Structure 1
Amino acid sequence: MSTDPHAWLVSLEGVPSGFTAARDGIDVVLRDRGLRRTSPELTAESLLRGAHASAVLEGSTSTLAEVRAGTGDEIAMVAVRLATELLSLMPVLRRQPLQALARMHTVAARGVLPDEMLGRPRDEEAALKLRAVAELITAPTEAPALAVAAVVHAYLVAAAPFGSHNGIVARAAERLLLAVKGVDEKSLMVPEAAHLALRAEYESNLRGWSHGGQAGRHAWLIYTTEAYAAAAEASPLVREAE
């Protein structure tokens, strides 16, 4: 019996080829459009755009201009606060994913939930689900890194292990995994913006993951191959190169 928790997805029709095509497109943007010329400012811009998009998906009504000016609503400021700290958690996510996820929630929910709930699962069942997600992050696998990020994102949304901000944490974890696993080490893609641009499909396929069985999970993975291609095109690198 395989010990690879992601082995099931490799045999799904269209999934391996879809992720291969998405990775090829990402590599074109990140490398052929000037990875050698990237700067911390481009990474910061990508993180800001991602924070804004994630906040809107969570219910924020702030515009990108308002977020850029520091005048966004509470949800937007939460997303920006997490984005500011996110890349410092790369080594933690590699070694201690539970600690990284707890820190993400603590940063996001500070001032919203009581201190004793920050970074802590809602209950024992949620704690078990959170440990299972952590194992998905660190388990050796033959699955594409993009697929692992997609699966972890969906599991976190479905499990909703924390008392608040689960969507923001899930999208932040997805972005961080793309960096940790070498897909986008400088975090120049904007997956959150892709999910926002494809919002109807994003939300529908997340529901499918939670309630649609194997077919729903298959559909989510196919959706994410499209979303990751769009995430690369949403990078500030694209505008820089044009």
Structure 2
Amino acid sequence: MADSPVVTDVLMPLMDLTGVAEAAEQAREEIDRLLAHNRLRRNSAPVSAEAALRGAHASAALEGAAYDLEAVRAGAVTNTVVQGALRVSGALGSLVDTWAVAPRQVLARLHLLAARDTVEESRLGRPDFEEPARLDALMDLLTGPTEVPAVIVSAVVQGELLAMKPFPGPNGLVARAAGRLVLVQRGLDPKAVSVPDAGHFAREPEYRGAAATYATGTADGVRAWLRHCCAAIAAGAAEGRAICDLV
């Protein structure tokens, strides 16, 4: 009988980058603190709903559509990017199971939701860029085995989509939603009660700088991005705890 092929965990070397393993562990500990909140033991739905709203607000702001949170909550903001972010955030829960087996299909759906009324209908859900092999590799990574923490997988997914810009229009909304789906689907935040995008928005200059350095592909650039994402996820967990205290 022929030997079984050796499966290589291509993400595992990332854990050897200085400070990455420690940052990932800290992010996980902050999420665990959130999930232990008494409010979530009774009814997590109101917390998830508020987290979704705040996440959409932050993601839209990172896409250049910054509006007052209370105005967004009241439905007073008709900006197409904000509306796309709200549609995306509201749909994430229904996409978790499909994400695990058909991430390309989910990305197309996310773009349709994010970019409706922003790009031509014929371009919705259709990747349009010069590196299809890179997107194929990312899809293979998502459906393949790995022992790397969910926070790192999430960071890589978002970083790759931000770097590739495979979709026309508000590609960042898609990238951040994909990173969010990783955290939910891989069980780190199964109730979707953290707000990682709020963590990114609170560190916007760092977010943009780290994303740019990730795109260079250097070890230092990748490390900076991964550590930023871990810090943002930890901050998003703190935002979730604040929501628990309020609702």
User: Normalising to structure 1: TM-score of the pair?
Assistant: 0.94
Q: Relative to structure 2, which stretch is displaced further, 67-76 or 92-101?
A: 67-76
Change (3 A) 1:59 1:26: same
Question: 1:121·1:130 contact (CA, 8 Å) conserved in 2?
Answer: no
Which of the residues 204, 225, 245 maps onto 1:241? 245
Give CA deviations for 1:77-119 in whole Å, capped at 9, x if unaligned: 1100111112100011011010011110011112222222111
Moved more, 132-141 or 99-108: 132-141
Q: 1:1-242 counterparts in 2 under 5 A?
A: 3-72=8-77, 73-123=79-129, 125-211=130-216, 213-235=218-240, 237-241=241-245
**Are the counterparts in 2 of residues 6 and 141 from structure 1 also a CA contact under 8 Å?**
yes
Q: Deviations over 1:113-151 (max 9, x none)?
A: 22221111114x343222222122222111111100011
2:119 aligned counterpart, secondary structure: coil
- 2:36 is paired with a residue whose SS is helix
TM-score w.r.t. structure 2 length? 0.92
Distance (whole Å) between structure 2 residues aligned to residue 38 and residue 12 of structure 1: 39
Q: Is the 8 A contact 2:210 2:225 kept in 1?
A: yes
> Unpaired segments of 5 or more residues in structure 2?
1-5
Q: How many Å separate the matches in 2 of 1:227 and 1:77? A: 23
Runs (4+) off by over 6 Å: none
Structure 1 unmatched runs, 5+ = none
* Letter aligned with residue 46 of structure 2: E
Whole-Å Cα distance in 2 between the matches of residues 126 and 69 of structure 1?
41
